[in-house]
Structure 1
Amino acid sequence: MDYGVDRGLIFGLGYMIENQGFRKKPYAYRHQFLASYLTGRESFMFDYKGNYKELIAGHDLYIHLSSLGPKNLSNFFGYGNNTIFDKSDSKRISYYRNRFDLVNGDIFLERYLAPKFKVFYGSSSEYYNSKELNNVGRYFEEFHEKYPSEPIYGSNFFTGVTTGIDYDTRDNISNPKSGVHFHTRLGWNAEIGGEGRNYTKLQHSMSFYKTVADNYITFANRVGFDAVWGDPYFYQHAQIGGEMSLRGYNSRRFTGKTALYNNFDMRLKLFSYSSYIVPGTVGAIGFYDVGRVWMSHENSNDWHMGYGGGIYFMPGDLLTIQGVIGFSKEATLPYLRIGLSF
């Protein structure tokens, strides 16, 4: 269960199947299914992850399918680093919530070159669908008038190739105290039919964790960089905003050909307690985020900043529940989630 202003309360139901195998660690194969309902959007999300260990010549097979929709609502404010957020009574945030469905699929082969370092490569596909009738009175109408040559209604399907690397030395994925996480993904996708567009996209992030003061204070920092080349549609551009990149701003607040952001957290352990029912740990979080996007037609020197804080709770030290509030010059936004932001 998560909560954010853009998505509302998210209720999810998951199921996992795991099978052990001879000389295959930690399992032979695993299937994870998750279905979610978003109250703020009155829409659905579906997610499937499948992993088969050492299936082909020492490679793992990884399958990931995700669907935003049916009835998905996602923010879009237009292109550029200085797009306007009109908060007049006739618009507000609901005006920028546009209805479109998006399905993504990855089929990768993964190989560990070292215990913490893997490479992956394979195919990626995506399907997009939006109808003009479903976006009456939304920003899509304004965007369509401003960019008549930029299709936003109808359907398109892309497929292509993707490769990347992942290096992860975090001591605990749910609440890391030390280590680094380095992830890079590079893909090329081409449209099947339609306008025959194609694009190349690079996504990169680096996270660092360091704990001091007798294990009471953890500093966490993440740098993210996205870039896209070619002729992408709006939803394939680099985007920042929201809990996973720029807290204090609405999700997907800025869209461009290139995006850069930095997240800094200070996590303070306040106290631990013992209980016959559920022992746990309580802590506080403070954060500061900064980021921006670039478009070729725009001359902007602005960097967008968000800051805030809150608390986290670890019942049984098995999972982390986080509640924070983000502030920026545009908004004050609460976030509640299972797991830390990074």
Structure 2
Amino acid sequence: KLYEENNDKINQEGVLTARLLDMFIGDFDRHADQWKWGTEDTGIGKLYIAVPRDRDQAFFNSNGLLLKYLSRQRMRFLQGFKKNIPDIKGLNFVARDFDRVFLNGIEADTWKAVTDSFIFKLTDTVIDSAVANYPEAVKPLIAESIAAKLKSRRQSLSEKSLKYYEFISREVTVTGSNEEEYFHLSQDNKNLKLSVYRKELDNDSSLVSYRRSFDPAVTKELRLFGLNGNDKFVIDPDVSSPIKLRIIGGKGEDSFNLQGNVKNFLYDLSTEKNVLINTRKTNKELLPQVSVLDYKSNGFQYNQLNFPMFNLGFNSEDGLLLGLGLHARTYGFRKDPYKTDQRLTTLITPTNGNAYQLKYRGEFNRVISKNDVLFNVDLVNPTLNNFFGLGNDTEFNTDLGVQYYRVRYKYVETDLLIRKRFNDLFSISVGPTYYHYWDNYEDNKNRILGDPGAQGLDSASIYSPKSYLGVKAKLDIVYIDNEVFPSRGITWFTEFRAVEGLNNNSGDLSRIVSDMTIYAKVSDISRISTVLRFGGGRIFNDKTEYFQALNLGVNNYLRGYFKNRFSGSGMLYGSAELRYRLFKSKSAILPGDVGLMGFFDIGKVWVNNLESKKWHNSVGGGVYFVPFNLIMLSASLAVSEESRLFNFTVGTKFNLTF
């Protein structure tokens, strides 16, 4: 109704009073369906009055380690009804969209006055009388405890309420309607004042549909959506504010007169006869696609900071590795799926610190001409891999054991890529990449690299530092129905890398790898799904370094063989997997799909001067479990002519193996 015409308003102070009660009693489940609306006739239109209902999560009791963990991470609203309000933002997560629509017109002074009035009425007598109405059967068990918690929460409610006001006022969205509006921005001392009129009559207060003064110390961004109608947007010439302003005109012939000193962005259709005046300093996005006008009243996301995240690692050489990690994610205007995403992980051996890893992944979306920036850094000292020699017919001497084929070396790798996303399915990334390798004999003596000449390798070269600098390009296609456990769709990842050696022992490298996975299902209700995977790669240089080789093994497309069992300058592989869903677990602790899977893998490698017609294959089967539709866990047994390997994998990709 509010979008259809501009004569109606919301009694936002009444909404705030109801929401304060929600916070006071700890009811976190306050989504839009929990409200009814009454109306009053104002003589101009209707005044909508909020009528809350279904307060079914009041006094929510949260205890136990799992709920404690969830309430501090992804489900902060599960903090429970306690003597204080530890996380007011998290408590109101479910109402995040509702509050930003129906509380967007209240200034700080009014917010504080409503809060103070609410608290003033919550006397001890009122609280004691309320809990006295509990049924006699439960009153002795909970009445005294709840009364004490309510009185304690009352003491901090004013502070928490104003903190929440500042939180939802950081970015404010104001909408017009399908009729004509006049959006006027003026200076109000140090504040930025927005007035929205139903008609262009600046001095007629009866025509004001919205008015609020924004403090730049609180509000950082203001978004104005005209929606439909011939709207007008004006910024006075004396306006000066650090608040970022986004104006989305909407359908209709709109006019914009954007003066003053305020950073502003304009979005509208290029196919309409809009009037633009004084927009030389405006960042304009005028497009023929109607998506440029998109308005969403839901979907607000909280920024995330998870720290510390505890990391565990283990390998047979270094033993247990411990570390800390950090994950930070921020959201922004039309920066899907997020604005930034950064992950930092560390691992170190706690006994002597001789082995350690540091990895950073940074993704910054739409920062350079609507393109993304990807920044990755790996420091591994040392890595622990297998190497059985170069070629498709290398032997595995079981008398020596797999430990003989372990190789240890150190490396630093970093790349900085610019990504162009053409749509939600297809993207291209390109940018510089750097790689530095170093190794020493002591880490590899009495193993395969203890005698490099037997493998056709040069010991002087292997134990010399090598540095490479060049370019990396990636082409990614992702079209799947579920990110965690796809049953339909396709993914296709291709990467090309060309680097030049920076010292005498470093040869140039050019290589390409490509991997395609097809997910198929007979019907929506079918229990059976199929996964087909194909791929390959090629190194175009005459010489292949062992640490740059293309590999097949349990971690790379060929289950049933040890990690990196076959290495070469070229590779081809294929895989077919059949999945059958047995049932859906209805456990309250770990609900999710449980099923069986069977697979067949085949592949081969080659080097420039060693051709082989042999194809290696393995077969196997196992079980999978997809709890909460958040992650895929699988356990399987793979059998080849050489070995039988038990695999435990996490995720939806075959190469995420522990």
Give me the TM-score of the superposition, normalised by structure 1. Answer: 0.90
Residue of structure 2 equivalent to 1:22: 333
Residue of structure 2 equivalent to 1:291: 603
8 Å CA contact 1:290, 1:303 repeated in 2: yes
1:36-75 map, 5 Å: 44-67=356-379, 69-75=380-386
How far did residue 13 of structure 1 move?
A: 5.7
8 Å CA contact 1:71, 1:101 repeated in 2: yes
8 Å CA contact 2:484, 2:629 repeated in 1: no
How far did residue 72 of structure 1 move?
A: 2.2
Q: 2:403 aligns with which of 88, 94, 104?
A: 94
- Counterpart amino acid of 2:491? H
Once the two structures are superposed, what CA deviation does each residue of 1:105-142 show, in whole Å capped at 9, x if it has no partner?
Answer: 22100011122111111011112111011111000023
Task: Call closer, same or farther: CA 1:172–1:334 in 2, change over 3 Å.
Answer: same
| Distance in 2, Cα, partners of 1:4 & 1:266 | 31
| Distance in 2, Cα, partners of 1:13 & 1:220 | 35
| Distance in 2, Cα, partners of 1:47 & 1:171 | 30
Residue of structure 2 equivalent to 1:280: 592
| Distance in 2, Cα, partners of 1:272 & 1:71 | 42
Q: 1:249 aligns with which of 557, 561, 579?
A: 561
Residue of structure 1 equivalent to 2:342: 31
8 Å CA contact 2:556, 2:564 repeated in 1: no
Q: 1:116 aligns with which of 406, 410, 425?
A: 425
| Distance in 1, Cα, partners of 2:356 & 2:572 | 29
Task: Call closer, same or farther: CA 1:31–1:290 in 2, change over 3 Å.
Answer: same
How far did residue 145 of structure 1 move?
A: 4.5
8 Å CA contact 2:420, 2:427 repeated in 1: yes
Q: 2:462 aligns with which of 147, 152, 158?
A: 152
| Distance in 1, Cα, partners of 2:508 & 2:496 | 14
Residue of structure 2 equivalent to 1:192: 502
Task: Call closer, same or farther: CA 1:156–1:321 in 2, change over 3 Å.
Answer: same
| Distance in 2, Cα, partners of 1:309 & 1:245 | 15
8 Å CA contact 1:44, 1:72 repeated in 2: no
The yes-or-no answer on 1:137 pairing with 2:446 is yes
- Structure 1 stretch displaced more, 188-197 or 246-255: 188-197
Residue of structure 1 equivalent to 2:652: 340
Structure 2 gaps, min length 5: 1-311
Residue of structure 1 equivalent to 2:86: none
Task: Call closer, same or farther: CA 1:123–1:276 in 2, change over 3 Å.
Answer: same
SS in structure 2 of the partner of residue 114 of structure 1: coil
8 Å CA contact 1:243, 1:341 repeated in 2: no
8 Å CA contact 1:5, 1:334 repeated in 2: no
- Counterpart amino acid of 1:120? S
The yes-or-no answer on 1:234 pairing with 2:543 is no
The yes-or-no answer on 1:183 pairing with 2:493 is yes
Task: Call closer, same or farther: CA 1:257–1:277 in 2, change over 3 Å.
Answer: closer
Once the two structures are superposed, what CA deviation does each residue of 1:58-104 show, in whole Å capped at 9, x if it has no partner?
Answer: 1100112234x32322111111100010111xx11000001112332
Residue of structure 2 equivalent to 1:304: 616
Residue of structure 1 equivalent to 2:632: 320
The yes-or-no answer on 1:330 pairing with 2:639 is no
How far did residue 27 of structure 1 move?
A: 1.8
The yes-or-no answer on 1:104 pairing with 2:413 is yes
Residue of structure 1 equivalent to 2:472: 162
How far did residue 53 of structure 1 move?
A: 0.8
| Distance in 2, Cα, partners of 1:111 & 1:25 | 13
- Counterpart amino acid of 2:498? W
Task: Call closer, same or farther: CA 1:148–1:204 in 2, change over 3 Å.
Answer: closer
How far did residue 338 of structure 1 move?
A: 1.9
Task: Call closer, same or farther: CA 1:142–1:291 in 2, change over 3 Å.
Answer: same
8 Å CA contact 2:485, 2:626 repeated in 1: no
- Give me the CA root mean square deviation: 2.6
Structure 1 gaps, min length 5: none
8 Å CA contact 2:570, 2:605 repeated in 1: yes
8 Å CA contact 2:313, 2:347 repeated in 1: no
| Distance in 2, Cα, partners of 1:250 & 1:318 | 29
How far did residue 232 of structure 1 move?
A: 3.6
Q: When you count strand as a share of all residues, which structure comes out higher? A: 1
Q: When you count helix as a share of all residues, which structure comes out higher? A: 2
Once the two structures are superposed, what CA deviation does each residue of 1:315-336 show, in whole Å capped at 9, x if it has no partner?
Answer: 2222111111111111111111
| Distance in 1, Cα, partners of 2:421 & 2:363 | 14
8 Å CA contact 1:2, 1:337 repeated in 2: no
Task: Choose 1 or 2 for highest CA Rg.
Answer: 2
SS in structure 1 of the partner of residue 382 of structure 2: coil
Q: Sequence identity, in percent? A: 27
| Distance in 2, Cα, partners of 1:312 & 1:8 | 28
Task: Call closer, same or farther: CA 1:98–1:64 in 2, change over 3 Å.
Answer: same
8 Å CA contact 2:495, 2:514 repeated in 1: yes
- Counterpart amino acid of 1:176? P
**How many residue pairs were aligned?**
337
- Structure 1 stretch displaced more, 292-301 or 1-10: 1-10
How far did residue 11 of structure 1 move?
A: 7.6
- Structure 1 stretch displaced more, 9-18 or 218-227: 9-18
| Distance in 2, Cα, partners of 1:304 & 1:12 | 38
Residue of structure 2 equivalent to 1:270: 582
SS in structure 1 of the partner of residue 422 of structure 2: strand
The yes-or-no answer on 1:79 pairing with 2:394 is no
8 Å CA contact 1:5, 1:333 repeated in 2: no
